[in-house]
Structure formats: C-alpha cells, structure tokens
Chains A and B, each alone.
Chain A
Amino acid sequence: MNGVRERLASRAFTSAAVVIAVLWTIPTLGLLLSSFRPEEEIKTTGWWQVFGSPRLTLDNYREVLSGGANSSGRLAEYFVNSVVITLPSVLFPLVLAFFAAYALAWIDFRGRDALVVGIFALQIVPLQMALVPLLKLFSQGWLFLPAWNLTGPARFGQVWFAHTVFSLPFAVFLLHNFLAGLPRDVIEAARVDGASHGTLLLRIGLPLARPALVTFAIIQFIWVWNDLLVALTLSGGTAETAPMTVRLASMAGTYGNEWQRLTAGAFVAAFVPLLVFFSLRRHFARGLLAGSVKG
C-alpha cells in the first residue's frame, strides 16, 4: 500500500518535472527552428509548420555571420571585442570580491555587519542612473582623479571598470555568504598556528571558496557577454571596441524590418555562454549549493 502511494507520488513529481522541462524548452525550440527558416516563412507562418513542409536554409546565419552589408562582415572583430571585454570583467570583480568577502567573513572588526549590509544594499542602485556619473568620471575626471579620455582599445578599460563596479555587491554578497557558512574551526586552527592573513587567504580560503568562485564566474560571464546597456554606453559602438551584442542589436536594420536575423543572431551570441555553461554546469550547481547553505 505504502509502496504504491510512494510510487504514485514520486511519479507525480517526475511528470511535473517533465512538463516544466517541456514548457521551458518549447519557446527556445521555436526560436531555434525559426532561425533555419527563410525570411518570408518566418514572417507569415508558424514555426511548427516546419514539421509539415520542411524548407530549411542557412540564410539567416549567413547574413549574421558574413552579411550582405559591408559593416556586418566583421562579426569576428566584434567577437574578439567580446572576449577582450569579458575576461577582465569576470576576473577583476572575482578577485576583489573574494578579498572583501574574506575580510568580512573571517576577520573580526567593528562595523563589519554594517558594511555587509551596506554593500548588499548597493545592489539596488539602478545601473541606468549610475551610467551618467561614470561617464562623467571618465570624460572629466573627479576630485583628484584625472579624466581618462580614452580612445581606441583603451576604451575597454572603461567597460571593465563599469562591469567590475556593478557586479561587486552581488559578488561580495554571494562569496561572503559562502565563506561565513564554512566551519570556523578550520580557520581558528590555522590562526593559532600563527599564519598571516595572506597565507590564510591563499592556502585555506581560496581552495574552500572555489565552488562559489566558479559559480560567480559563470553568472558574471553570462551577464557580461549578454550585456548591451553598458556596452552601448561605454564601449563606443564601433568595430574597434564594441562587443557582439551591439552588432547583433543593430542587425535588425534602421527600421527593425530585418528582425528575422535576430533569430539566428540570438543563437550565435548564445553559443559561447551555452558552451561555458554546459562544460561547467557541475561546478555551477556545486557552487550555488554551497553558497546557499547558510542563507
């Protein structure tokens, strides 16, 4: 009796999961199938028609990757820009937030709790409102800081700076939560042995925090790679420094009438995040798990 009920209940769970998985996949599947359909069919018939009369084409991908227009033939350049923007924008906040989280979690000092809360609270400053002051800082300088006035590849510096700043509250929050949740006896034991904070940070903190660091790195990677707002505002928008998202956003044309290209564009842009994601998914789940134990 019990066994039957148990099986039924767990079957209910399983079927719920299958339903959710299907519901979550269908919209993406529709986009994927659409991206292989000719323009006039995308715009006149539903993507499920593809099962009845499959007329598939790579035209959308061809236009996105090489393009009929001369400015669209340079997606590779934008790809390089995306890489150049993303790597430091993940690395910098990762390291700085780890330092800060270590200090907030493992060093006792007065005002510590208030700082944690304060940093956490900064998450709510809307990015849009912070862009103008940041631009001002770059173009005019502020107090003792000189103007950056950067051109050419040096503009990447501005984008790195902005992404680093905007991600710090979440990064510190996540890493602090994780570190504070670890058993304290490990650290105390090392402290008693007279290890300096430098040693503790590298020898004990770093290996223990690795799952959370990986988690943050993946989230931040996807965020920066897909970002359009910061890129459009700070990167200058030309093939010299702008990432792929900027290029893809403009592919719909001045009047937005070429939106069928966005179907292919979405997958071209998502290719790298998906790759990162699928190759690191184990670490991702592990890190998030650990980060949330304490709450």
Chain B
Amino acid sequence: MSFDAVAQQPKLLYLLQGIAAFAAVVSLILLALHQGPARRRAAALLLLAPALLLLTVGLLLPGLRTVLLSFTDSSGDAWVGFDNYVWMVTDPRALVALRNTLTWVVLVPLTATSVGLLYAAAVARSRFRTSALSVVLTPMAISFVGAGVVWKFVYAYRPAEAGQIGLLNQLVVAFGGEPRQWLVDAPWNVLLLVVAMVWTQTGFAAVLLAGAIRAVPGELTEAARLDGASPRQIFWRITLPSIRPTVSVVVLAQAIGTFKAFDIVKTTTGGQFDTGVIAHEMYDQAFRYGETGRGAALAVLLFVLVTPFVAHQVRAQRRAG
C-alpha cells in the first residue's frame, strides 16, 4: 500500500481554495443585503441570482437543447421532424421500456409509501424509533453497485442438481419447487426489479411519514382513544387524514425518482430480458448506440410523463398558499 500523504496536499489546498472562494461570494451577497433598506425585489434577486444562474446553465439550457435534439438524426445535425417520436411508439423495445416505466411508476411509489406508512405508524411513537428507522434506511447508504450485487444474489439461479446461491430459489427449492430464472422470465422479472427499487426507497418514505405522524397533536389521538377508538380506527380516521399532505409529497417524490430510475436496472439486468425502463433506454440509445436523436426523444417523453405530477404539485401549492 503506497500512499503519499504529501502528494495529497494539492488536493486539500484546492479544497480550501474552493471553499474560500465560495465563502467570499457568499459574504459579498450578505454584505450587499445588509446595505441599507434594500427593496424587496432587489433583495430577492440578489439571493436568487446564484441558484438561477447555475440552474439555467446546468439544467434549463441542457433541457431545451434536448428538446431540439429530439427532432434531429443520430448525429444531431440534420432535422428529421417527428421521426424519433414515430420510432418511439413503434419500436418494440421502446414500447417495452414505456410499459415497464408505467408499471414502475404505479407500483414503486404506492408500495414504498404504503409499506413505509405501515412501518412509520408502528414505530413512530416507539422508544426504538430511530434505530427502527435506521434499519430500513440502510439500503440508502449502500451504493447502487452494492444494491445490484445484493439483488443479483437474491435472484441468482443455479440448476436443481447444484446448491442454490440465490435466496429466493433456495426458498423455492426448500418447499419442493424447481428453481426458476427469476431475472429472465418476463413479465415477472419486472416486478422483481420493482421489489429491489422499493427496497431502496421505503426507508426514505418511512422517515418522512414517521416525522409527520409524530407531529399530529397528541390531544387528538388521546381524545379519540378515550372515546373508545381502536388503534386501527385512530390510524384511519385521525392520523392518516392529518398527514395527507405529507403522504402526497412522499408519493410525488417517489414517482419522480422512479421515472428517473436507472441504476437498479443497469446493475441487475442491464435492461435485458424486457426489463428496460425509459431512463435506461435513453442512455443506451444516446450513448451506447450513438442515436442522439432517439435518446433525446425518450428524454422528452420523460418530461411529458412527469408533467402531470408537477401540475398536481402546483395545484397543491396554490391551495396551501
């Protein structure tokens, strides 16, 4: 193991420089804010400017560029009209990816939120709350490379004669069944990938919901309890209605995350065996196959699919505001 601490100094120096430069910018903004009774607009602009500049350069313009590219050919130079969109709705592989994405986006947020809600309701007022929540949050700390290995292990296939290395097939064999090629057999493999995704997402939902449940005023549930309501009734009649806004935020965040899901597919099946999703197919088309236009068209499809969720959030915000 050769590690030269001295050789690391330029990196640390650069780190300090970077943070110092950033601190200087921040101080300038704060200083300007302190100067006199700034007008509201000016103050807002000053505070928003850095974020808006970065967002414009890093996301807004790339987004617009993607829309333009979706009307061009594989090299991104010649205009082809709606060809890429026609391809998207006729190519069997793209259609499979679309079907899977819709399956994912229905199942993942619902399952992750329901399981997370159940778990949160059970542990929110328990003494072991933080430890219990940490258990379901651990998958978040494991990188997607690690999660891929985890789930390949669970679903691994070995012939009936040999010993199983996959947990699921071991269970099947233990109950006298034939081992199955879980990741190969469509359409079940899609559902099994959904399970893997839910595994990574549930902890996040549980923590958010546990927080919300704890915020429900104790007097409310206490009063209901004195009136003879069962825990189940309290959950359905008091707790759930009080935390409905949080539930909708969680579902929304999960849905957006699911639309963009890419790593689980990449690390388990690589999109083979009809398990592809749009985010993964987009990467394949744009980079692996050099079909920039098609990749961009799939990205635009993602925008379009997410729009209803954004619109819903807008309405919710209006109502609340």
Contacts and interface: CB of A to CB of B under 8 A. Distances in A.
A126 B163 contact: no
Interface string B238-281: 00000011101110000010011010000000000000000100
Nearest to B66: A129
A266 B26 contact: no
Given A156-B15, A166-B58, A295-B320, A76 B1 contact: yes
Contacts of A119: 51, 55
A209 to B, nearest CB: 13
Interface stretch (B86-94, B97-105, B150-158, B186-194): B150-158
B172 interface: no
Given A128-B283, A134-B58, A21 B136 contact: yes
A107 B212 contact: no
Contact of B149 (A245, A263, A292): A263
Interface string B183-220: 00000000000000001001100011011101100000
Provide the main secondary structure of the chain A interface. Answer: helix
A28 B10 CA distance: 37
Given A125-B59, A270-B142, 11 more contacts: A28-B142, A45-B163, A77-B7, A87-B19, A95-B22, A109-B40, A117-B313, A117-B314, A133-B61, A202-B30, A228-B143
A53 to B, nearest CB: 12
Contact of B40 (A25, A107, A165, A194): A107
Contacts of A10: 231
Given A10-B231, A84-B14, A103-B48, A168 B55 contact: yes
B119 interface: yes
Nearest to A137: B57
Contacts of A42: 165
B142 A17 contact: no
Interface of A: 2, 5-6, 9-10, 13-14, 16-17, 20-21, 24-28, 30-31, 34, 42-49, 65-66, 73-74, 76-77, 80-81, 84, 87-88, 91-92, 95-97, 99-100, 102-104, 107-109, 112-113, 115-117, 119-130, 132-134, 137, 142, 145, 152-154, 156-157, 160-162, 164-166, 168-169, 172, 177, 180, 194, 196-199, 201-202, 222, 226, 228, 241, 245, 248-249, 259, 262-263, 265-267, 269-270, 273-274, 277-278, 281-282, 284-286, 288-295
21 contacts: A9-B230, A34-B153, A49-B163, A84-B15, A87-B15, A91-B22, A100-B50, A104-B48, A119-B51, A124-B303, A129-B286, A165-B59, A172-B51, A196-B34, A199-B34, A201-B33, A270-B146, A288-B208, A292-B212, A293-B245, A295-B316
A295 B246 contact: yes
A32 to B, nearest CB: 10
Contact of B150 (A31, A156, A201): A31
B295 to A, nearest CB: 7
A128 B286 CA distance: 9
